Each structure stands twice: as structure tokens, then as C-alpha cells.
């Protein structure tokens, strides 16, 4: 895992190397093991390296010596198979990222089509004087860009583009800001920064003379319904083969690895597969919350780990962690998401970093195998309470907290829903497709990337693999949903591989007790949040103070959103430090 950045100057001008170097400086946390730089024609590139594969000769940029250079962030998991298949090619390193560089002369702008993995890459073709930017199909690895007066600049994180002077941290998009406060994340190509755009999941962009001239896309999911795997036994065999193959290639590493275990279906299935593939005990990290009435998964995770022969590391996350770490979590999330699951993820990454560089995680299981409760309503007719829109109401608007009506905040999700309805998919598959297009890359995967890369740890997601997705999408609804249970086939697979996981029990889900912690300090937090410029310009201070001292689920949720946004704005827009706890930070 690494950080990448670069620029292509407008109309053949020489790029500003100092600005590109400043972008690299802003990405040091993503690659503490080395730095690389490149400049040719109108392109300059910067790379920060976290060494995972080919520790000795895998430094970047990689140059083929005849006209192309590449920098990449991520892992190409099928590099072993592709090297064997293309025996005619000569390689200078053992790096997995050398593959797209060597395949490019034959594949051109379609080079990403052969890659299985998580990646964001940039390739400069000196012969055609073009720049390719590509991102993996699920959007596991991030990539952002700005088209400005000096040309096009790109980076792994928005903070780098701001540090290089290609965007202004104070120039926020009003639409995206309302979307964040209403949805807890932002959708599509636009970010909260007016000038900073996302390379979309699966997208390859071709740039010439500092301007985007072509876009092409690789879909993570089939665009039409595939022939369903109606036979349950055959479906189980296909699932077993896909899961084991995916976990096997996701374990390819020249450094030690572990995994995050919540005790839920997805991470327990991951542990079951890893235990089958590893001779040594798997190192499994679990976060828990004690002493506050919240559901604590550690006891169940401990039993699952013991049954799998894993070495179990338990990580306590309490009220002091909430108050002390939240400013640093907000600082890590330069592309903001108000998801409280970032809190334990950040501390798990902090703990794992003391001994590991790679962890495997269960993200994607709910989206691919239909684990969310709202998926069940998608299969019911409207007169039975079905087909309810995702996040149909804004939490802040519901409580009358906004000065102005929240207009257009759901347009991004609505566009994804419209696109899914136009495909040849079942009603359930349509909802899954929307989540895979927006919720997954723009919330869950940003959470994983930023909270782990803040500590120099690489997070890998074996369930988000194109081979696994092909099996999951070929399942009929009845093998995903049965009664009140989702992920039916995955549960059946887990029950046969690791009975101690109690796969068919109802799971309570992962909840962080932020409402309880905020409530205990509401009288002090309310005025601090209400007086923050970023909050006060959108919400009347007296109403904000009120929700921090009153009870109720909706008020607690709104208080969390505004607390996070107050910290994020304080750090990323106003430029204050993230040192100290919540009170220190907001009082500065």
C-alpha cells in the first residue's frame, strides 16, 4: 500500500515539481518505507511506499526503459498467474505492480481489464505523451483529481491536492456539504471540495495536455442478471471455491498479516478460510465496548477464534478513547464520512500496526450476499412495506436543525437507483448494485483506507473480489434471503466450516455507543459544537445546543453528525491542529 500523486501540465508546459513534491510530503503516512519521484515531458509523479511485496527491488516509480513509467497504490493479486500466462514478457522486479506496466504495450488503455486486485495507478506513456489513471472496480483504493488552470493533478487523498496548491480547503460544495450531513457520506464523482473529483470505481481516465480526453469503465458486478445457481449444493461448491481462492491470493505478502474479527458472519467466514490455508495460528483483532450497555462482540469472537485455533487480540474502546481519538479520526478522514464505525477501526489499525502491515477484513459481505435488513423490504411489494428508499429522510432536517431547506441531498443516490432500475436485475440486485456503487466505496472503503493508512497498515477485502461477486450475483434471492435471515448461503457455508460461529443466530449488528458518550458530556459539548463556524453557518446555535442535552434516538444521531462535522471543519477547513481531546480541539 502506498500513496501516489502527480500532475500533467496544460498544453505541454513543464510541470511544477515543487508542488508535486509537496503532495508527496502530504502522503508520507501512506508510505513510510520509501519515496520515489519521476519527471518527463509535461508529467511529474511522486510515490510514497509501504513495502509489502518485493521488499528489495519493488520501489517505484517503475520504468520499462522504452517509454512508459508507472506508480501504483494497492495490490495486484493475480500477478503470479499473469506472469505465468505471459511468459514472453521480461520483468525487472518481483513486484506485483510491474504487471500493468509490462502489459500496457499490448493492452493500452484497457490494461486494467486483466487486473484482479485493489489498486489506484498512474501510467505515463512518453511515446504518446498521455497519462492513464485507473482505479479498481469496487473502489477499494482511492484516487482524486483536479482539472485546473495549470493542468490536471491527482493524488491518493484530497489533502495532497490541497497541500500542492491545486485546490482550496475552504472552497466547499454546498450541495455535497448538505449531502454529507444528511447521508453521512457524499456520492458519485463530486467530493465535498468544489474542485476535487473522484476517479470512479472501475474507471480508467486518459489525459492529454493536462485535460481528460477519454473515460472507460470496468463493472464490479454483472450489468444484467446472470443465470441463477438454483441448485444449493452446486452453489455451495462454487462459493467454497471462490472464497478459498480469493482468501489465498489476498494472503500473498512478504510481511506478516492478520485479520479483523467482529464475530459476525463475514469476518467469521474469513477466519474459517484463513484457518484452512495457514499452518500457523491466524492473528485476529477484535474491538469491544464494555460498561455502557452496548452490545459487545468480544465473547463470541473469542469463542470463534478459539475454535479456529487463532491467536486472539482484544482491543477495548471506551469513553476515553472516544473523546481522545475522535479528533485524530476526523483528521484522517479528509474525504469526510460521519460513520461512527471509523472509531474502533482507527484503534484496531493503531493496535495492529505495532506488529503487522497487512490485515484482512470482511467489508463487502453485506452488500454482495444481502446482509442488511432493508434488503428484505426490497423483495416485498409496496403494500407489504417493501421497496423503501435508502435514507429517505435527513436526520438534521427531521429535527428542524437546518437554517435552509436541504435540497438535492439525495440526488446522488437517486441517480444510482435510476441506473440500477434500468439494468436487467431483480429488485434485490438493484438495491445491492446501488450500495456497491455508492455506500460501499464512499463510506465503508474510505473508512477502511483512511483509518488503517493513518497507521501505515494495509487493509485487504477478500469478499470484494470479482470472482466472489460473480458467484454472489448468480445466487437467486432465495439463497440470499430466507425468512428473517440474510446471507443465507454464506451462513450455510460457515455453519459447515466453523460451527462454533453459530451462523444461523440473529446477529445484533455492530453499534458504537456514541450517543451514550455524547450524552454524558452534552452540556459541555453542545455550546462548543454550536459555536463552530462550520456548524453555525448552517444551524441555529440554540437548536444545536438543545439536541446535546435532550434524549431520543434521532437527537443523539444528529448530535453525533454535528460533532463529527464540527471537528472535521475545524481541522480541514480552518486549519487547526487535531491535538488533544475533543474539548481541547474545539476550544482551540
pLDDT per position in the chain (588 positions), as tens? 699 999 999 988 999 999 999 999 999 999 988 999 999 999 999 999 988 776 676 789 999 999 999 999 999 999 999 999 998 898 999 999 999 999 999 999 999 999 999 999 999 999 999 999 999 999 999 999 999 999 999 999 999 999 999 999 999 999 999 999 999 999 999 999 999 999 999 999 999 999 999 999 999 997 666 677 778 999 999 999 999 999 999 999 989 999 999 989 999 999 999 999 999 999 999 999 876 666 788 999 999 999 999 999 999 999 999 999 999 999 999 999 999 999 999 999 999 999 999 999 999 999 999 999 889 887 776 545 555 566 777 889 889 999 988 888 999 999 999 999 888 888 999 999 999 999 999 999 999 999 999 999 999 999 999 899 999 988 999 999 998 899 999 999 999 999 999 999 876 666 789 999 999 999 999 999 999 999 999 999 999 999 999 888 899 999 999 999 999 999 999 999 999 999 999 998
Phi-psi domain of 381 (left: phi exceeds 0; alpha: psi -120 through 50; beta: other): beta
Which residue in 559, 515, 509, 567 sits closest to 539, CA to CA?
A: 559
Residue 226: per-residue pLDDT: 66
Burial of 533 (0-12, 13-18, 19+ CB in 10 A): exposed
Tell me the helices (H) and strands (E) count for the chain, helix number first.
Answer: 24, 17
Residue 227: per-residue pLDDT: 72
Residue 385: per-residue pLDDT: 52
Residue 388: per-residue pLDDT: 58
Whether residue 261 contacts residue 284, with contact meaning beta carbons closer than 8 Å, is answered with yes
Whether residue 114 contacts residue 219, with contact meaning beta carbons closer than 8 Å, is answered with no
DSSP 317-355: --HHHHHHHHHHHHHH-SS----TTHHHHHHHHHHHTTT
State the Cα–Cα distance between residues 15 and 163, nearest whole angstrom: 16
Q: How far is CA 99 from CA 72, 83, 86, 225, in A?
A: 11, 7, 10, 32
Q: How far is CA 505 from CA 238, 273, 363, 488, 492, in A?
A: 24, 20, 20, 11, 12
Query: Which DSSP helix (H) or strand (E) runs through 131?
Result: strand 130-135
Query: Phi and psi (nearest 5°) for 380?
Result: -100, 150
State the Cα–Cα distance between residues 326 and 561, nearest whole angstrom: 12
Helices 319-332 + 445-453 axis angle, to 10 = 100
Cell readout for 325 is 481519538
State the Cα–Cα distance between residues 4 and 129, nearest whole angstrom: 19
> pTM for this structure?
0.96
State the Cα–Cα distance between residues 585 and 564, nearest whole angstrom: 12
Whether residue 227 contacts residue 209, with contact meaning beta carbons closer than 8 Å, is answered with no
State the Cα–Cα distance between residues 418 and 469, nearest whole angstrom: 22
Collapse the DSSP code of 143 into the 3-class scheme (helix H, G, I; strand E, B; otherwise coil) and give the result.
Answer: coil
Collapse the DSSP code of 528 into the 3-class scheme (helix H, G, I; strand E, B; otherwise coil) and give the result.
Answer: helix
Which are the contacts of 347, defined by CB distance < 8 A and separation ≥ 6?
Answer: 287, 315, 317, 321, 325
DSSP 186-218: --SSB-SBTT-EEPPTTEEEEEETTEEEEEEE-
Cell readout for 404 is 435552509
Residue 506: per-residue pLDDT: 79
State the Cα–Cα distance between residues 336 and 178, nearest whole angstrom: 12
State the Cα–Cα distance between residues 367 and 435, nearest whole angstrom: 7
- The verdict on whether omega for the bond into residue 61 sits within 30 degrees of 0, i.e. cis, is yes
Which residue in 154, 166, 151 sits closest to 211, CA to CA?
A: 151
Residue 383: per-residue pLDDT: 45
State the Cα–Cα distance between residues 430 and 436, nearest whole angstrom: 10
Hey, what domains does the chain have and what are their CATH numbers? 2-217 (3.60.20.10), 232-501 (3.40.50.620), 514-587 (no CATH)
State the Cα–Cα distance between residues 260 and 186, nearest whole angstrom: 26
Which residue in 277, 135, 256, 243 sits closest to 467, CA to CA?
A: 243
State the Cα–Cα distance between residues 303 and 501, nearest whole angstrom: 8
Strands (E), 417-484: 458-460
State the Cα–Cα distance between residues 68 and 551, nearest whole angstrom: 60
Amino acid at each position: 500500500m502506498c500513496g501516489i500523486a502527480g500532475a500533467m501540465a496544460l498544453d505541454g508546459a513543464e510541470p511544477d515539481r515543487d508542488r508535486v513534491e509537496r503532495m508527496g510530503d502530504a502522503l508520507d503516512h501512506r508510505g513510510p518505507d520509501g519515496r520515489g519521484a519521476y519527471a518527463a515531458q509535461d508529467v511529474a509523479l511522486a510515490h510514497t511506499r509501504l513495502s509489502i511485496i518485493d521488499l528489495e527491488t519493488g520501489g517505484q516509480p517503475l520504468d520499462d526503459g522504452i517509454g512508459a513509467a508507472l506508480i501504483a497504490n494497492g495490490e495486484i493479486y493475480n500477478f503470479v498467474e499473469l506472469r505465468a500466462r505471459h511468459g514472453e514478457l521480461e520483468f525487472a522486479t518481483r513486484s506485483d505492480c510491474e504487471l500493468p506496466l509490462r502489459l500496457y504495450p499490448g493492452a493500452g488503455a484497457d490494461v486494467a481489464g486483466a487486473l484482479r486486485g485493489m489498486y489506484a495507478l498512474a501510467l505515463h506513456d512518453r511515446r504518446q505523451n498521455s497519462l492513464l489513471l485507473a482505479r479498481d472496480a469496487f473502489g477499494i483504493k482511492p484516487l482524486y483529481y483536479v482539472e485546473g488552470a495549470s493542468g490536471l493533478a491527482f493524488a491518493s487523498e484530497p489533502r495532497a491536492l490541497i497541500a500542492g496548491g491545486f485546490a482550496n480547503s475552504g472552497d466547499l460544495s454546498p450541495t455535497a456539504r448538505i449531502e454529507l450531513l444528511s447521508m453521512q457520506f457524499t456520492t458519485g464523482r463530486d467530493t465535498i471540495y468544489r474542485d476535487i473529483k473522484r476517479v470512479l470505481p472501475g474507471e480508467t481516465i486518459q489525459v492529454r495536455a493536462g485535460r481528460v480526453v477519454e473515460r472507460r469503465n470496468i463493472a464490479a458486478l454483472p450489468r444484467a442478471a446472470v443465470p441463477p445457481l438454483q441448485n444449493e449444493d452446486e452453489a455451495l461448491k462454487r462459493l467454497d471455491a471462490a472464497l478459498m481462492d480469493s482468501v489465498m491470493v489476498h494472503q500473498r505478502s512478504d510481511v506478516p498479516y492478520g485479520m479483523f474479527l467482529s464475530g459476525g458472519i463475514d469476518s467469521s467466514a474469513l477466519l474459517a478460510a484463513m484457518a484452512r490455508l495457514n499452518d500457523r495460528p491466524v492473528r485476529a483483532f477484535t474491538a469491544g465496548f464494555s460498561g455502557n450497555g452496548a452490545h459487545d462482540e468480544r465473547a463470541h469472537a473469542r469463542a470463534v477464534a478459539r475454535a479456529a485455533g487463532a491467536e486472539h487480540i482484544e482491543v477495548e474502546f471506551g469513553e476515553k478513547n472516544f473523546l481522545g481519538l475522535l479528533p485524530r479520526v476526523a483528521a484522517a478522514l479528509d474525504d469526510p464520512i460521519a460513520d461512527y464505525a471509523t472509531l474502533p477501526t482507527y484503534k484496531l489499525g493503531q493496535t495492529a500496526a505495532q506488529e503487522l502491515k497487512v490485515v484482512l477484513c470482511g467489508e463487502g459481505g453485506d452488500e454482495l450476499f444481502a446482509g442488511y435488513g432493508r434488503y428484505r423490504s426490497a423483495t416485498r411489494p409496496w403494500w407489504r412495506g417493501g421497496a423503501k428508499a435508502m435514507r429517505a429522510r435527513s436526520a438534521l432536517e427531521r429535527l428542524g436543525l437546518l437554517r435552509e431547506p436541504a435540497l438535492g441531498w439525495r440526488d446522488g443516490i437517486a441517480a444510482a437507483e435510476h441506473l440500477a432500475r434500468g439494468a436487467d436485475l431483480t429488485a434485490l440486485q438493484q438495491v445491492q448494485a446501488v450500495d456497491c456503487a455508492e455506500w460501499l466505496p464512499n463510506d465503508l472503503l474510505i473508512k477502511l483506507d483512511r483509518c488503517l493508512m493513518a497507521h501505515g497498515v494495509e487493509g485487504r477485502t477478500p469478499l470484494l473480489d470479482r470472482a466472489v461477486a460473480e458467484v454472489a450475483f448468480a445466487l437467486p434471492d432465495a439463497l440470499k434471503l430466507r425468512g428473517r435471515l440474510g446471507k443465507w448461503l454464506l451462513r450455510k457455508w460457515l455453519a459447515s466450516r466453523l460451527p462454533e460461529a453459530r451462523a444461523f443466530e440473529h446477529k445484533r449488528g455492530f453499534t458504537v455507543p456514541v450517543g451514550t458518550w455524547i450524552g454524558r458530556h452534552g452540556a459541555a459539548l453542545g455550546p462548543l459544537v454550536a459555536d463552530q463556524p462550520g456548524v453555525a453557518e448552517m444551524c441555529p446555535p440554540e437548536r444545536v445546543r438543545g439536541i446535546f442535552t435532550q434524549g431520543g434516538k434521532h437527537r443523539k444521531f444528529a448530535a453525533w453528525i454535528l460533532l463529527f462535522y464540527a471537528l472535521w471543519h475545524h481541522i480541514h477547513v480552518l486549519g487547526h491542529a487535531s491535538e488533544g481531546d475533543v474539548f481541547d480541539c474545539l476550544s482551540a
